[in-house]
C-alpha cells in the first residue's frame, strides 16, 4: 500500500523516537517498552528485551524530554535535563545561551518553576538572568555583530539556508515535540509552527541578497547614493503562544540585515528558543549571533534599557508593549510591537456556510490546537504543497483570532447550529497524540482567567451553547492538566466583557447584524485593530471560473463562443459579488485582513495591526525597513561652491 507524505513522516517519527526511548509504537496510540522490572530512568533507554508493558503518557513524555533537551545537535544526552519519574520534575537549568553555548548559572536558588500544561507537573526550573548575565549576552551579540555585519548578503544567506535545512531535515520533529510538551498545543499545530519558522528563515535568506540602495544623478556630474545598513544588537521578546515560531520570525529579518540578536522567551515557555540558537550555531553563524536569556519582567527591563541595544521587537499584551515603548523612548530606540487583538469576523448571508464555519472555527480555536477532525467533521483545508512540506503559507497567529463573529441575522440559526455541532466534536486530550486537535491551555492561571470570562459572560446575559467547562481526559496522568472545552457564546451584545476584552482562549462570541453599515460601525468600535475577516459569496464565483477554465479542453472549436460567453457571465457575476468584500475590507480598521478565509499568514506578506494592536510589521519585504537604517552619501565631482 502506498503511503502519503504525512503517513510516511509519522511512521518515520515513531521509529526514531521509539529508538530514542527503547520502545516501539503499537499502532493504537500507545508506546510499548520491553522490561522485566518497574520502570526507571536507565531502563527507559535500555535494550533489554524480556517483556512488554504499556508506558503512560507521563513516562513516555519524560523519556522523550531526556532525548530532546540536549545541549547540542549531536544527540547526546543532556544529563542536567534528566527528568525524575518519581517526582515528575525535570532539573534543567541550562536554558540560557550566549557566546555559542548553553550557559549554566551558578545561583539556582532564584530559579522559577516551569509547568507542563498537559499534566500540571513541574517540567523544569528556569534560571532568570540578572544584570551581569544580560551584559554578557549583549556583549556576545556585539562581538558577533562586528563580524556578521561585514559579510556580503550572499554569505549571510548561506548560513540562514543551512539553518533552515537543519530544521527541516534534522530537527523538525524534535522541536515540535518540545513545543507540545512546553506549550500544550497539539502536535499537528506544533509541526506547522516549526515549518513557519523554517519558511521565514528561508524567505529572509533570499532577502539578504537583495539589500541595496539608490543612485541619484545630480547636476554637474555629481551624484548621490544610499546605503541600507544594519542597526546593531537587536532584542526580541517573545510570547508563550508560539515560542519557536516567534523566535524565528524576529531573528530571521534581523540577521538577514546584518544585525545580531538577544532573545528573551516567555518565562512560561522557555525551552524551544535555545534549540533555535543551537541550530544557528551549527549552521555556521558566528558565536553570539543569536543569544537566549531567560527571565521575568526584570530581565526584560534590563534588555530594553541596555545602552548597547539598538532595536526592540516585542510580541505580547498591549500594556507590556506600552511599557516597552516607554523604555525605548529614553534611548530613542526603534520598536516593533505586535500586540493584542479583538478581531471581527463578518459573515454575510450569501456566504458559503461550510467555508464560513471552517473559518470561524479556525479563527477561534486554533490557539488550543488545529480544528481538524475526521469523518464528516471539520477538516483543515491544507493545500497539497503543505502536505509535501513545501507550502508557502500556513494557518497561524492567535492574537489575531476573530473572536467577535458577526453573522447576518438570516443566516445565524443555520450557522450557529453547525458551529456548535462541530465544536462539540473537537478532540481534546494528550497533545502528543496524532488524533488530538486541542490540548490544554498554557497554565493554570490562564485557564482560571478564561473560565472567569465564560462565567462573567453568563452573568451578563450571554447563552453558553456548548463548552466553557473544565475537561478531564480519560488518561489519569492528565487529570491535573489545564484543559477546558471550547466554548460558543450566543446572545452577545457589544457592551459585554467577552466582546470587548481579549480573552486569549477557546471562546467564540457570536453576534448578529442586519446591514453592512451597521456591522462596519460595530466591528470598528474597538481600540484594537490587529485583524479582520469577511465571508461573502465571491469565492463561489471564482471557483466556478476556475472549473470552467479547467474544462476548456472539453470544448470544441465550434463551441468556443459558448464557452467564452459562460466565462464572461460568471466573471461579471463574480465581480459584482466581490465588490462588497473589497468595499467592507477597505473600511475595516485592521492591519491584517482576510476575504473568505482566516488566519492565513504567508511569510511573504506583512503581518501587523492598526491602533493599539502594534507598530511596525513582521514578515514580508517591508520588515527589512524595520531592521535596517538608511545612509545617504553625496559625492561632489567638481569644485565646492562657497559663499565665503
Question: Among all residues, which ones are annotated catalytic?
Answer: 338
What's the CA gap between 12 and 3, in Å, rounded?
A: 12
Alpha helices in 209-272 (DSSP H): 243-256
Inter-CA distances, 9 with 6, 73, 168, 169, 193, Å: 5, 20, 12, 11, 16
Q: 234 by DSSP, 3-state: which? A: strand
Q: How, if at all, do strands 96-98 and 52-54 pair?
A: unpaired
| DSSP states of 317-375 | -HHHHHHHHHHHHHTT--EEEE-----EEEE-TTS-HHHHHHHHHHHHHGGGS----ST
Q: Given its phi and psi angles, is residue 257 left (phi above 0), alpha (psi -120 to 50 degrees) or beta?
A: alpha
Beta strand residue intervals within 18-150, DSSP E: 23-25, 31-34, 52-54, 96-98, 101-103, 112-115, 122-126
Question: Please, which residues bridge with residue 488 across strands?
Answer: 466, 508
Cβ count within 10 A of residue 175: 25
What's the CA gap between 105 and 97, in Å, rounded?
A: 11
Cell, residue 541? 464565483
Cell, residue 112? 522559577
Q: Cell numbers 476575504 label which residue? A: 595
Q: 66 by DSSP, 3-state: which? A: helix
What's the CA gap between 368 and 269, in Å, rounded?
A: 15
Amino acid at each position: 500500500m502506498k503511503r502519503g507524505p504525512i503517513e510516511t513522516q509519522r511512521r518515520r517519527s515513531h521509529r526514531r523516537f521509539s529508538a530514542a526511548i527503547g520502545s516501539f509504537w503499537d499502532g493504537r496510540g500507545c508506546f510499548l517498552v520491553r522490561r522485566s522490572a518497574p520502570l526507571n530512568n536507565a531502563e527507559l533507554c535500555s535494550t533489554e528485551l524480556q517483556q512488554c508493558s504499556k508506558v503512560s503518557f507521563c513516562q513516555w513524555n519524560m523519556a522523550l524530554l531526556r532525548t530532546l533537551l540536549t545541549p547540542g545537535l549531536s544527540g547526546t544526552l543532556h544529563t542536567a535535563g534528566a527528568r525524575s519519574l518519581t517526582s515528575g520534575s525535570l532539573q534543567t537549568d541550562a536554558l540560557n545561551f550566549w557566546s555559542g553555548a548553553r550557559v549554566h548559572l551558578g545561583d539556582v536558588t532564584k530559579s522559577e518553576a516551569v509547568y507542563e500544561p498537559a499534566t500540571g507537573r513541574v517540567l523544569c526550573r528556569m534560571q532568570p538572568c540578572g544584570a551581569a548575565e544580560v551584559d554578557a549576552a549583549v556583549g556576545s551579540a556585539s562581538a558577533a555583530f562586528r563580524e556578521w555585519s561585514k559579510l556580503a548578503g550572499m554569505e549571510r544567506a548561506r548560513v540562514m539556508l543551512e539553518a533552515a535545512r537543519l530544521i527541516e531535515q534534522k530537527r523538525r520533529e524534535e522541536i515540535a515535540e518540545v513545543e507540545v510538551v512546553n506549550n500544550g498545543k497539539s502536535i499537528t499545530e506544533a509541526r506547522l509552527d516549526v515549518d513557519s519558522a523554517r519558511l521565514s528563515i528561508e524567505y529572509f535568506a533570499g532577502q539578504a541578497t537583495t539589500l541595496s540602495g539608490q543612485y541619484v544623478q545630480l547636476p554637474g556630474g555629481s551624484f548621490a547614493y544610499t546605503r541600507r545598513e544594519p542597526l546593531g544588537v537587536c532584542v526580541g521578546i517573545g510570547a508563550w503562544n508560539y515560542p519557536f515560531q516567534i523566535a524565528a520570525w524576529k531573528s530571521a529579518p534581523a540577521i538577514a540585515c546584518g544585525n545580531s540578536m538577544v532573545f528573551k522567551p516567555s518565562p512560561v515557555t522557555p525551552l524551544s528558543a535555545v534549540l533555535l540558537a543551537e541550530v544557528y550555531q551549527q549552521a555556521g553563524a558566528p558565536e553570539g549571533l543569536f543569544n537566549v536569556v531567560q527571565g521575568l519582567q526584570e530581565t526584560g527591563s534590563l534588555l530594553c534599557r541596555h545602552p548597547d541595544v539598538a532595536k526592540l521587537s516585542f510580541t505580547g499584551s498591549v500594556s507590556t508593549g506600552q511599557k516597552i515603548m516607554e523604555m525605548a523612548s529614553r534611548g530613542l530606540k526603534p520598536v516593533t510591537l505586535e500586540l493584542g487583538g479583538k478581531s471581527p469576523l463578518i459573515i454575510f448571508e450569501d456566504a458559503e456556510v461550510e467555508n464560513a464555519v471552517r473559518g470561524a472555527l479556525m479563527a477561534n480555536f486554533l490557539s488550543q490546537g488545529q480544528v481538524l477532525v475526521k469523518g464528516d467533521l471539520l477538516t483543515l483545508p491544507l493545500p497539497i504543497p503543505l502536505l509535501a512540506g513545501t507550502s508557502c503559507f500556513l494557518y497561524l497567529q492567535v492574537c489575531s483570532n476573530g473572536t467577535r463573529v458577526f453573522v447576518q441575522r438570516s443566516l445565524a440559526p443555520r450557522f450557529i447550529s453547525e458551529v456548535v455541532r462541530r465544536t462539540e466534536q473537537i478532540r481534546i486530550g494528550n497533545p502528543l497524540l496524532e488524533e488530538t486537535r486541542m490540548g490544554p491551555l498554557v497554565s493554570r492561571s490562564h485557564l482560571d482567567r478564561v473560565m472567569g470570562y465564560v462565567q462573567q459572560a453568563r452573568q451578563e446575559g450571554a447563552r453558553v451553547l456548548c463548552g466553557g467547562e473544565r475537561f478531564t481526559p480519560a488518561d489519569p496522568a492528565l487529570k491535573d492538566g489545564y484543559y477546558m472545552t471550547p466554548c460558543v457564546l450566543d446572545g452577545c451584545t457589544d457592551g459585554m466583557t467577552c466582546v470587548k476584552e481579549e480573552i486569549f482562549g477557546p471562546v467564540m462570541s457570536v453576534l448578529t447584524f442586519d446591514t453592512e453599515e451597521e456591522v462596519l460601525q460595530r466591528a470598528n468600535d474597538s481600540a484594537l485593530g490587529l485583524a479582520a475577516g469577511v465571508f461573502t459569496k465571491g469565492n463561489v464565483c471564482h471557483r466556478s471560473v476556475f472549473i470552467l477554465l479547467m474544462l476548456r479542453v472539453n470544448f470544441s472549436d465550434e463551441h468556443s463562443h459558448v464557452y467564452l460567453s459562460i466565462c464572461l457571465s460568471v466573471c461579471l457575476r463574480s465581480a459584482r459579488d466581490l465588490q462588497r468584500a473589497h468595499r467592507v475590507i477597505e473600511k475595516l480598521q485592521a492591519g491584517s485582513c482576510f476575504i473568505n478565509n482566516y488566519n492565513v499568514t504567508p511569510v511573504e506578506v506583512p503581518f501587523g495591526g492598526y491602533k493599539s494592536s502594534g507598530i511596525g510589521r513582521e514578515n514580508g519585504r517591508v520588515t527589512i525597513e524595520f531592521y535596517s537604517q538608511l545612509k545617504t552619501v553625496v559625492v561632489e565631482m567638481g569644485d565646492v561652491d562657497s559663499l565665503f
